[in-house]
Amino acid sequence: MKKYPFAFVYSLLRNRLGLINDNLLTNDQKSSVRLVVCPNPLPTIHPTRRWPLIAVIGLLSLNSLSSCDSTAQKSEETATSTERQETNLLATAAFDTAKYENASNELNLTGKITFNQDQVVKVFPLVGGHIETLKADLGDYVKKGQTLAVIRSGDLADLEQQSVEAKGQLSVAQKNLQVAEDMTKAGLSSQRELVASQEQLLAAKGEVNRVNERRRIVGGNGAVYIVKAPVSGFIVEKSASQGMELRSDDPENLFTISNLDHVWVLANVYESDLSNVKEGDQATITTLSYPDKIFRGRIDKIFNVLDPDSKTLKVRVTLDNADYRLKPEMFANVSVTYAGHDKRVAIPAKAVVFDKNRNFVVMVNNKNQPLVREVDIYKSIGSKTYLSGGLTPGDRVVTNNQLLIYNALGN
């Protein structure tokens, strides 16, 4: 608490109470009191009542002066606390530098999710017959070699019969060759007959090998044909049903298996936008099922054929789908980013603070002091914002905790 001279405090009291002519003051005190002039003296107060009143008002005045000093100290402490708070926030903040670069443009397209055709396998029956049992359904995940269906097949029974006949012909051919060799050695048969027997044996062996290879490809046992999954993946199409009759020349497949670890996004590009799209351009994809989830990829294929009806050209983006979120035939919004021709100052979009219908950033000067700077936004593309004014290349902006620092500076 600050201490004030007695002459000053007493003169203040006399100024309030109109006690200029009090004879109780010493000469030194009176000389000090005369420095204070009371423009509106209070009414005369009886001498016996003045001193108690003076004492009360004196205490109140001292308390008021003490309060003023305390308020000033609190203001200084608040300013110091605010400065420390800003310093602490800067210690945890992240920074980026404004750069002068070509402003990117954005092209919005529509498309859909499709299978990765490089990982799609259609399963056809190799024999005709009757579907006795189904072991898999639409949407199931199957592993390579897993049984999908069991078919009772007459074709497979015929193949078994062919195997028996081929083995019998091979035995006959081997016996004929042995007889022909013996007769040739005895001079009872010509060399021509021996060669014919050898060729007959080779033909019989070839038929046995053909039938065995056919049985190995078809598989099964006896008249039972087992349809197995050639690859691991999801059953995305299914036309088989229990009790269904099949022909060996039927062009319709029973199952379609696809591995959904990677999917394709096919987007439509109109003729007027063809010059703005090229392979390698970045693309962001959103879907109706996951509106808050952004999938990122690049254009890896441009199909150089226009659809005759819609007059659009398709471009392809391959996406990683390890969690199987994306399903074929989903609708997709595709935004393609490509380089523009005009140069602008670029900063991260998350550095912008929108307040009172205006845009601000928190920048740091050469003395590492935070400053609020109003900026004019040209446009925002993805994670970048391009400015028309407010910053110059090389300015450092806060990209983390910028809202807290902005509020602290505002207070």
Per-residue model confidence as pLDDT tens digits over 348-389: 999 999 998 999 999 888 888 888 999 999 888 878 898 988
Q: Which of 341, 359, 393 is the last residue of a domain?
A: 341
Cα four-point dihedral sign 199, 201, 207, 212: negative
Residue 56 is predicted with a pLDDT of: 46
- Quick one: which of 19, 13, 15 has its CA closest to 60? 13
Cβ within 8 Å of residue 88, ≥6 positions away: none
Alpha-helix runs per DSSP H in 143-190: 154-186
- Calpha distance 269→108 (Å, rounded): 9
* Structure confidence at residue 39 as a pLDDT band (50, 70, 90): very low
Average model confidence (pLDDT) across the chain? 79
Same domain, 201 and 236: yes
Given a cut of 50, whether residue 35 has pLDDT beyond it is no
- Looking at 226, 257, 288, which one is the last position of a domain? 257
Residue 280 lies in a domain: yes
Assign residue 272 the CATH number of its domain: 2.40.30.170
What CA–CA distance (Å, rounded) separates 256 from 128?
19
Q: Is 392 exposed, middle or buried (0-12, 13-18, 19+ CB in 10 A)?
A: exposed
- Is the pLDDT reported for residue 341 higher than 80? no
392 within domain boundaries: yes
Average pLDDT rounded to a whole number, residues 188-213:
85
The predicted structure's pLDDT at residue 342: 81
Q: Max Cα separation, the chain?
A: 176
Whether pLDDT at 263 is above 90: yes
Same domain, 244 and 202: yes
The whole-number pLDDT of residue 38 equals 38
pLDDT of residue 220: 66
Task: Give the pLDDT of residue 410.
Answer: 77
**Distance between CA 351 and CA 96 in Å, rounded?**
9
Q: Higher model confidence: residue 120 or residue 13?
A: 120
pTM of the entire structure?
0.56
**Is the same domain home to 151 and 226?**
yes
Span of 85-89, 299-303, 398-402 with lowest mean pLDDT: 85-89
Please check the confidence at residue 22 and state whether its pLDDT lies above 50: no
Q: How many domains does the chain have?
A: 4
In a shared domain, residues 135 and 207: yes
183/289 same-domain check: no
Structure confidence at residue 187 as a pLDDT band (50, 70, 90): confident
pLDDT of residue 11: 56
Q: Residue range 325-329: average pLDDT?
A: 90
Same domain assignment for residues 133 and 243: yes
In the chain, how many H helices and how many E strands? Answer: 6, 21
- CATH code of residue 406: 2.40.420.20
Q: Which is nearest to 372 in space by CA: 404, 410, 340?
A: 410
Closest by alpha carbon to 260, among 122, 148, 141, 123? Answer: 141
For residue 238, being part of any structural domain is answered with yes
User: Cα–Cα distances in Å, from 124 out to 148, 204, 227, 246, 253?
Assistant: 11, 31, 9, 10, 4
- Segment 8-25 shows an average pLDDT of 49
Residue-level pLDDT at 74:
52
Residues 215 and 269 in one domain: no
pLDDT, tens digit (0-9, with 9 covering 90-100), for 131-177: 989 999 998 999 998 999 998 887 777 787 888 888 888 888 888 88
Per-residue model confidence as pLDDT tens digits over 109-141: 999 999 888 889 999 888 888 898 999 999 899
Task: Indicate whether 261 pLDDT > 70.
Answer: yes
Per-residue model confidence (pLDDT) at position 42: 43
115: DSSP letter: -
Q: For 221-233, b where at least 16 C-beta lie within 10 A, e where not — what string? A: eebbbebebeeeb
Do 22 and 72 share a domain, yes or no?
Answer: yes
Domain around 64: 6-81
| Identity of the highest mean pLDDT range in 33-42, 184-193, 195-204 | 195-204
What CATH number does residue 174 fall under?
Answer: 2.40.50.100
Residue in 376, 408, 401, 411 with CA at minimum distance from that of residue 390:
376
Q: What is the pLDDT of residue 197?
A: 85
Domain end among 257, 284, 302: 257
The whole-number pLDDT of residue 118 equals 86
Question: Do 330 and 350 share a domain, yes or no?
Answer: no
1 in any annotated domain: no
pLDDT over threshold 50, residue 87: yes
In a domain, 140, yes or no: yes
Q: Give 302's pLDDT tier (boundaries 50, 70, 90).
A: very high
What pLDDT sits at residue 158? 79
